[in-house]
């Protein structure tokens, strides 16, 4: 909680003092009355200014997954918990990002999107938001720190290199990596009767015709998906670079629906769903950090 | 609506209000550029060059400064402010510039308070406070987000909710007004104005010129006292004993004061006096004693004078005796029997009116004047010798003519006589218990010395009833009297509030608190009432707080905690009760929970007595 | 109110007699039933799900059907199908097992997605469409579906969006030792249930359901509290999809029934908070893979930080 007087505020105070002197000097009660009003307004506006930034509830949550060195969208939400008074002209400062909210009615909330950028991967604690407001008269700015204590996990920076060739910018270096871990396009090799297999591998056409369930089998049954060992990448690149490459690869695999099995420190992840992808990225984000 | 537009509209209204407050004091040509600027500001998006405008402003200010005397200081200050506002309106405006215009407008309104102590000031200041409040809030938003436009609903919300500031500032300001420290003397004593305007009765009666008896209904003074016979309400002010070239003056001698005033009804009163920019104080008929905060001079002619010109509203206490005459044994009658300025025709008339003794002569003159002359306020005699004109040709006039003629006729008959200027009658306000005396009541009568007694003689035929009868008053006048009622308290509590009253109030408060005996007085009554009201509302507020369900639930939890039960306020009541092992306590607690749940979620009405009883029972377990 | 209170007491007495050790599960199931919802029981086999379903049907004199899901179960096996009647020389509709008041769908996650969706449609719409003709299901209609814990092999987990159709997702759990001993001593109570007479009639049941729907007061402060909770799940950073409006409505209905079986004609916060983990948890989709206890932890902290409507 703090207060800082603006230039206008200082001038107002000086004017009040000046008027006070003229009131005493002329002994004119009407001038005294003006001074009284000036003081009263200062006092009440101070109170209102204080109330303006009180009883707020500030929250922040990511709209999309944050990756290091890349701005990602966050929603900043302010809830006004006051029963009667609105909050006007609120400014929030979070990691050098300032957002202004014009008016927030009593018992309502407002959301605003903001872009936050993080320099490194790992856990980041967004501890508090500074809320300030020049309301009501721009004579002073009041501050209050609101704790949000939102821990977010910043995924690693997305590297340029990948084990896939989708990226046109991929250079020789990448291709050489590709040689080491070959990628095969899977081909249908067999159809057998169903036994507790994943739904997506059921031969639905056949099911529709006969009502019996069959499972499709593909070549390289054992390594039905692309396998990637993080430790392998680590052998070729320094840690941070390796993490960047792994991140890029995982993302590309997911985005292009390529089955990928990713192994890191003896933990194996099958990157199929969005949640799988997140788990891997989270693991990479927290690797050695 | 765009913020900028709203702000411009607000600024325009503020400037108009501030200008209206000073419209009486500044000559018309100064308003023309202002009106032009206002229109320009509203309808044109262009702005003029700042430097050129500043140069014009400085030039005009210097011009006005050269024409400034001590007497026109405030008026010229107003002119300068108006010029600056006009010029500011033409410039390109940002937050800073708008704030300057607002400040200048407030200055203008405040400066009007230096020349006018009318209650209308309160209207100006409160209206402008509401306006300025909203304006600055909009400006604050504008300063931060110039392109933002507020919708109607947002505007409404801002407008209503921020009106808290001016609304609450009113009682707060009144409180501050009474407690801001006052001093008995000004800190810097260099702008004490001499007279600026003269109103009401004067220290000089110039016949034939502009009539000094004013037909205005503005209040000259008010006197708190009991109601008396209206025919006795002669308010004494100035005594004119020197007659020169058709006008009367006062000698103001103070060498010898030796009066004996006896034999009439004694009355004490308190007078609230509007500023006259003169030194004479008004007393009721024959004053015995006068208590005034400041130095007073009593003259040989039974007048009271202050040392300084009365330039603000003042009040004083007096006691008088209502009597037609008083004894003045060794009266210096050099002036009163001075026959200078009496023409031959007047002497001739005086001779024809002379009777055997002074008393009869006086009665004859009175009778003659009353029978042959008409009272009039228009078409008054003028010329070289207005009295002669009145007596022999025009034959109509106001009290000044009747009194002058009578005094001269008496002097021609060797009876010492002088004129007394003051007021006659007044409107009694029964509710407030005071007489309001307007400038219309101004009156002049004659005092003649017979057998060492100064006798009051009133030759004017206008009846007293026209000064006093309230039933005959027009509706407009009645309304005015009610307004005066308010205006009276404005004077009494606001205008005349000074160090002394402040001290008195403080003393009153402390003694009233110390001693049980309370002497009711108007000020204390009102303050007491407001304190009681304040206490009552805060009590209701607290009580209201005590009536919320959460109050009872917290109390319930507190009792349970005291009994060693682990309470988690974030879970429902029943789940907290599940943690109780003691059967009896559990049963009672369930009763409480059932009741409060029923009230909250079924009936929607809180029966606090039921809850209190259950809580008491639980506590007893 | 008095009349229905008597009926509900008789019901619970009945269950007390035949179903020891499952009080919690019975209560939750009855609340779902009275709220016109359906219940999903996730448990290992052999913990008395079938007995529970039969007991409910029997106690109210309702018909009972059972569908055992396998991966070769076809939608028509559930809904019924048109069969050519040679005598009449026309197709006639042969009702499937879903045309019962109480339907137990065993191991719903073994059914193929197609069958699942047919089942869920029937649950949601309370009607069945076969070859263009629509057939209304009997009233009351209540589904008790069971599923093996999702990690079991060879299953088609119900899609998250479909889980919304269940008012509650519960688990019965193992009975306590003494209760289990009792069961062992008395043998299976199934036989007794089959032979028992209903304690209330199906008309009574319908009336009771109607009564709950119309006569239990839910004040605005309660509704606002529910909306607060729902809003929180929608804003939570770890939750991808929060509670739907349908979910909120179900919570209100369940709260009504809860108030009713507790002998009140108005809803209090306890009616919501006693069941939040059964009514809310399965309807939310989390961003990351979390264990069920982690999910419950998130939900619980969310519930605890929501201000109770005691103002």
Distance from CA of A59 to the nearest CA of C (A): 9
**What are the residues facing A155 on neighbouring strands?**
A67
Of B578, B567, B560, B568, nearest to B621 by C-alpha is B560
Q: Collapsing DSSP states into helix, strand and coil, what is residue C122?
A: helix
The region that residue A173 occupies, defined by phi over 0 for left and psi between -120 and 50 for alpha, beta otherwise, is alpha
* Three-class DSSP category at B331: coil
Of B549, B550, B601, the CB nearest to C268: B601
Express each pLDDT in B39-58 by its tens digit: 888 887 777 788 888 888 88
**How high does pLDDT run on average in chain C?**
84
On chain B, the residues whose CB falls within 8 A of the CB of A17 are none
Residues of chain C within CATH 1.10.8.80 domain(s) are 216-305
Average pLDDT, chain B: 80
Per residue of chain C (311 residues), give pLDDT as tens.
Answer: 788 888 888 888 888 887 777 788 888 999 999 998 899 988 776 667 788 888 888 888 888 888 888 888 888 888 888 888 788 888 888 888 889 889 998 888 888 888 888 888 888 888 888 878 888 888 889 999 888 775 556 667 777 777 888 999 988 777 777 767 776 776 666 777 777 888 888 888 898 899 998 989 899 889 999 998 998 888 887 888 888 898 999 999 999 999 999 888 899 999 999 899 899 988 888 887 777 788 888 888 888 888 888 87
**Is A83 near chain B, with CB under 8 Å?**
no
- Whether the full predicted model's pTM is greater than 0.80, yes or no, is no
How far apart, in whole angstroms, are the C-alpha atoms of residue A31 and residue A33? Answer: 5
CA-to-CA distance for A224 and C15, rounded, in angstroms? Answer: 52
For chain C, give every residue range classified as CATH 3.40.50.300: 19-199
**A29 in contact with chain B, both atoms CB, cutoff 8 A:** yes
Query: Which residues of chain B does C311 touch, with a Cβ-Cβ cutoff of 8 Å?
Result: 548-550
Distance from CA of C55 to the nearest CA of B (A): 30
For residue range B94-113, what is the model confidence (pLDDT) as tens digits? 888 899 999 999 989 888 87
- Structural class in CATH, domain A1-154: mainly beta
Query: What is the average per-residue pLDDT within B367-385?
Result: 80
In sequence order, what are the residues at sequence separation of 6 or more whose Cβ sits closer than 8 angstroms to the Cβ of residue B288?
B261, B266, B319, B320, B321
Q: Which of B122, B133, B186 sits opposite A26 (nearest CB)?
A: B186
Smallest CA–CA separation between B114 and chain A, in Å? Answer: 7
Measured CA to CA, the distance from residue B584 to residue B621 in angstroms comes to 8
Residues of B in contact with A43 (CB under 8 A): 169, 172
Contact A275 C236 (CB under 8 A): no
Q: Do C72 and A278 touch (CB under 8 A)?
A: no
Smallest CA–CA distance from A106 into chain B, residue? B157
Helix, coil or strand: residue B236: strand
B 510-549 residues inside an 8 A Cβ radius of C: 548-549
Query: Considering CB atoms only, which of A199, A211, A275 is closest to C74?
Result: A211
Q: What is the CATH number of domain C19-199?
A: 3.40.50.300
Rounded to a whole number of angstroms, the distance from the CA of C108 to the nearest CA of chain A is: 14
| Nearest in space to B335 (alpha carbons), one of B267, B422, B239 | B239
Question: Is there a contact between A41 and B129 if contact means CB atoms under 8 Å apart?
Answer: yes
- φ and ψ at A127, to 5 degrees? -80, -55
Comparing CB atoms, the residue among C113, C154, C288 nearest residue A278 is C288
Establish if A289 touches chain B: CB-CB under 8 angstroms.
no
- Paired sense of beta strands B325-327 and B205-206, if any: unpaired
Instruction: Report the residue of chain A nearest B168, measured CA to CA.
Output: A44
Quick one: how many helices (H) and strands (E) in chain B?
Answer: 20, 20
How confident is chain A (289 residues) per 10-residue block, as mean pLDDT?
87 90 78 88 89 87 84 87 88 85 86 86 87 89 87 86 57 43 46 62 68 62 64 84 87 80 83 81 85
Cα gap C311→C305, rounded to integer Å: 15
B550, B571, B601: best to mutate for the C interface, most C CBs within 10 A: B601
- Hey, are the CB atoms on B191 and A105 less than 8 Å from each other? no
Query: What value does the CA radius of gyration of chain B take, rounded to a whole number of Å?
Result: 35
Residue C270 is nearest to which of B572, B598, B604, comparing CB atoms?
Answer: B572
Identity of the residue in B168, B172, B180 whose CB atom sits nearest the CB atom of A32? B180
- CA–CA separation, B411 and B353 (whole Å): 12
Identify the closest residue of chain A to B119 by CA–CA distance.
A30
Q: Best mutation site among C226, C264, C268, C271 for testing chain B: the one with the most B CBs within 10 Å? A: C268
Interfacial A residues in 39-78 facing B (CB < 8 Å): 39-41, 43-45, 48
Domain positions in chain B: 3-179, 205-475, 547-620
What stretches of C66-111 show up as alpha helix (H) in DSSP? 75-79
- SS3 call for C94: strand
DSSP string covering A161-189:
--SSS--TT--HHHHHHHHHS------EE
Q: Which residue of A has its CA nearest to C153?
A: A196
- For chain A, residues classed under CATH 2.60.40.10 are 1-154
pLDDT in tens, B53-106: 888 888 888 888 877 766 677 788 888 899 999 988 888 888 888 999 999 999
Helix intervals (H) in B441-518: 465-468, 475-489, 499-514
- Tell me how far CA of residue B98 lies from CA of B11, B105, B379, in angstroms: 8, 11, 54
Residue C274: its chain B contacts at CB < 8 A?
575
DSSP C117-168: HHHHHHHHHSEEEETTEEEEPPSS-EEEEEE--TTSSS--PPPHHHHTT-SE
Q: What are phi and psi of C250, to 5 degrees?
A: -60, -40
Percent of chain C with pLDDT over 70: 94
Say if residues B411 and B270 touch (Cβ distance below 8 Å). no
C216-305: CATH class: mainly alpha
Portion 585-604 of B in contact with A at CB < 8 A: none
List CB contacts of C231: < 8 A, sequence separation 6 or more: C242
Handedness of CA B265, B270, B276, B279 (dihedral sign): positive
Residue B583 has pLDDT above 80, yes or no: yes
What is the predicted pLDDT for the residue at A172? 41
């Amino acid at each position: 909680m703090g207060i800082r007087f603006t230039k206008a505020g200082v001038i107002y105070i000086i004017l009040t003092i000046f008027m006070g002197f003229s009131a005493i000097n002329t002994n004119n009660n009407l001038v005294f009355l003006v001074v009284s009003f000036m003081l009263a307004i200062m006092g009440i506006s101070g109170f209102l200014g204080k109330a303006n930034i009180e009883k707020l509830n500030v929250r922040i949550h990511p709209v999309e997954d944050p990756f290091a060195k890349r701005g990602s969208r966050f929603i900043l939400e302010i809830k006004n918990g006051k029963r009667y008074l609105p909050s006007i002209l609120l400014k929030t400062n979070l990691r050098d990002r300032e957002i202004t909210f014009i008016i927030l009615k009593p018992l309502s909330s407002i959301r605003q999107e903001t872009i936050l950028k993080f320099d490194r991967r790992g856990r980041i604690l967004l501890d508090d938001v500074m809320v300030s407001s020049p309301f009501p008269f721009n004579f002073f700015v009041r501050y209050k720190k609101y704790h949000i204590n939102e821990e977010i996990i910043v995924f690693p920076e997305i590297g340029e290199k990948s084990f896939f060739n989708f990226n046109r910018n991929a250079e020789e270096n990448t291709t050489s990596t590709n040689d080491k871990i070959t990628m095969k396009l899977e081909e249908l090799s067999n159809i057998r009767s169903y036994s507790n297999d994943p739904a997506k591998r059921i031969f639905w056409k056949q099911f529709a015709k006969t009502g019996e369930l069959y499972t499709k089998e593909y070549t390289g049954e054992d390594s039905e998906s692309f396998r990637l060992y993080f430790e392998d990448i680590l052998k070729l690149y320094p840690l941070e670079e390796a993490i960047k490459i792994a991140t890029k690869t995982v993302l590309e695999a997911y985005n292009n629906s390529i089955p990928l099995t990713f192994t890191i420190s003896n933990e194996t992840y099958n990157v199929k769903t969005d949640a799988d992808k997140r788990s891997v990225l989270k693991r990479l984000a927290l690797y050695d950090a | 609506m765009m913020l900028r537009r709203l702000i411009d509209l607000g600024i325009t209204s503020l400037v108009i209000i501030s200008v209206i407050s000073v419209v009486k004091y500044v000559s018309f040509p100064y308003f023309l550029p202002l009106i032009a600027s206002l229109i320009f500001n509203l309808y044109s998006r262009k702005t003029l060059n700042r430097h050129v405008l500043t140069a014009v402003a400085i030039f005009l200010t210097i011009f006005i400064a050269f024409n400034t005397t001590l007497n026109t200081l405030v008026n010229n200050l107003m002119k300068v402010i108006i010029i600056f506002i006009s010029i500011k309106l033409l410039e390109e405006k940002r937050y800073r510039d708008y704030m300057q215009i607002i400040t200048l407008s407030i200055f203008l309104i405040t400066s009007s308070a230096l020349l006018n102590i009318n209650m209308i000031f309160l209207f100006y200041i409160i209206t402008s406070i509401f306006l300025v409040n909203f304006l600055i809030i909009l400006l604050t938003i504008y300063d931060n987000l110039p392109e933002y436009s507020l919708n109607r609903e947002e505007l409404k919300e801002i407008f209503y909710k921020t009106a808290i500031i001016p609304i609450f500032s009113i009682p707060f300001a009144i409180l501050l007004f009474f407690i801001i420290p006052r001093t008995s003397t000004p800190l810097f004593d260099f702008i004490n104005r001499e007279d600026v305007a003269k109103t009401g009765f004067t220290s000089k009666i110039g016949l034939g010129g502009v009539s000094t008896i004013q037909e205005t209904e503005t209040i000259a003074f008010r006197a708190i006292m009991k109601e008396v016979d209206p025919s006795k309400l002669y308010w004494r002010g100035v005594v004119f004993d020197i007659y020169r070239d058709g006008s009367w003056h006062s000698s103001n001698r103070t060498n010898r004061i030796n009066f004996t005033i006896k034999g009439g009804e004694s009355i004490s009163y308190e007078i609230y006096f509007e500023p006259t920019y003169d030194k004479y104080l008004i007393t009721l008929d024959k004053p015995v004693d006068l208590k005034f905060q400041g130095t007073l001079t009593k003259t040989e002619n039974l007048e009271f004078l202050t040392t300084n010109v009365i330039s603000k509203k003042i009040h004083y206490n007096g006691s008088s005796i209502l009597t037609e005459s008083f004894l003045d044994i060794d009266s210096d009658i050099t002036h009163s029997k001075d026959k200078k300025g009496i023409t031959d025709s007047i002497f001739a008339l005086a001779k024809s009116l002379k009777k055997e003794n002074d008393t009869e002569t006086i009665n004859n003159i009175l009778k003659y004047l009353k029978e042959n002359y008409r009272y009039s306020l228009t078409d008054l005699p003028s010329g070289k010798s207005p009295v002669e004109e009145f007596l022999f040709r025009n034959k109509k006039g106001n009290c000044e003519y009747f009194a002058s003629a009578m005094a001269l006729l008496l002097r021609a008959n060797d009876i010492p006589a002088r004129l007394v200027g003051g007021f006659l009658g007044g409107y009694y306000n029964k509710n407030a218990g005071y007489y309001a005396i307007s400038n219309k009541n101004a009156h002049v009568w004659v005092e003649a010395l017979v057998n060492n007694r100064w006798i009051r003689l009133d030759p004017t035929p206008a009846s007293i009833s026209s000064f006093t009868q309230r039933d005959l008053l027009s509706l407009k006048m009645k309304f005015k009297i009610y307004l005066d009622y308010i205006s009276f308290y404005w004077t009494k509590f606001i205008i005349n509030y000074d160090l002394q009253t402040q001290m008195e109030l403080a003393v009153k408060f402390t003694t009233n608190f110390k001693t049980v005996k309370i002497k009711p007085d108007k000020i204390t009554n009102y303050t007491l009432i407001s304190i009681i009201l304040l206490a009552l509302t805060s009590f209701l507020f607290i009580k209201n707080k005590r009536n919320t369900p959460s109050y009872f639930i917290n109390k319930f939890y507190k009792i349970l905690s005291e009994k060693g039960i682990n309470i988690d306020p974030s879970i429902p009541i029943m789940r907290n009760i599940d943690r109780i092992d003691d059967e009896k306590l559990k049963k009672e607690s369930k009763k409480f929970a059932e009741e409060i749940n029923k009230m909250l979620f079924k009936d929607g009405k809180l029966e606090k007595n039921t809850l209190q009883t259950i809580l008491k029972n639980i506590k007893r377990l | 109110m008095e009349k229905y209170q008597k009926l509900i007491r008789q019901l619970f007495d009945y269950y007390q007699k035949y179903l020891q050790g499952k009080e919690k599960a019975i209560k939750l199931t009855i609340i779902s039933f009275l709220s016109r919802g359906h219940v999903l029981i996730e448990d290992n086999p052999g913990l008395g799900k079938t007995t529970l379903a039969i007991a409910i049907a029997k106690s109210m004199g309702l018909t009972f059907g059972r569908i055992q899901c396998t991966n070769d179960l076809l939608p028509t096996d559930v809904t019924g199908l048109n069969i050519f009647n040679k005598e009449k020389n026309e197709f006639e509709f042969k009702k499937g097992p879903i045309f019962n008041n109480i339907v137990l769908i065993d191991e719903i996650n073994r059914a193929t997605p197609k069958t699942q969706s047919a089942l869920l449609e029937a649950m949601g719409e309370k009607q069945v469409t076969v070859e263009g003709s629509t057939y209304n299901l009997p009233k009351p209609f209540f589904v008790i579906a069971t599923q093996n814990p999702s990690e079991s092999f060879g299953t088609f987990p119900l899609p998250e969006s479909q889980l919304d159709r269940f008012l509650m997702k519960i688990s019965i759990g193992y009975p306590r030792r003494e209760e289990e001993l009792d069961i062992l001593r008395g043998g299976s109570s199934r036989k007794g249930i089959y032979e028992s007479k209903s304690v209330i009639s199906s008309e009574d049941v319908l009336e009771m359901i109607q009564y709950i729907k119309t006569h239990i007061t839910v004040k605005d402060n309660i509704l606002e509290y529910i909306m607060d909770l729902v809003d929180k799940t929608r804003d939570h950073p770890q939750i991808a999809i929060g509670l739907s409006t349908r979910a909120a409505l179900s919570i209100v209905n369940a709260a009504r029934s809860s108030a009713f079986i507790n002998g009140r004609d108005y809803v209090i916060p306890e009616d919501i908070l006693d069941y939040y983990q059964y009514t809310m948890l399965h309807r939310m989709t989390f961003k990351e893979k979390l264990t069920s206890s982690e999910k419950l932890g998130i939900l619980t902290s969310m519930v605890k930080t929501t201000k109770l409507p005691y103002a």
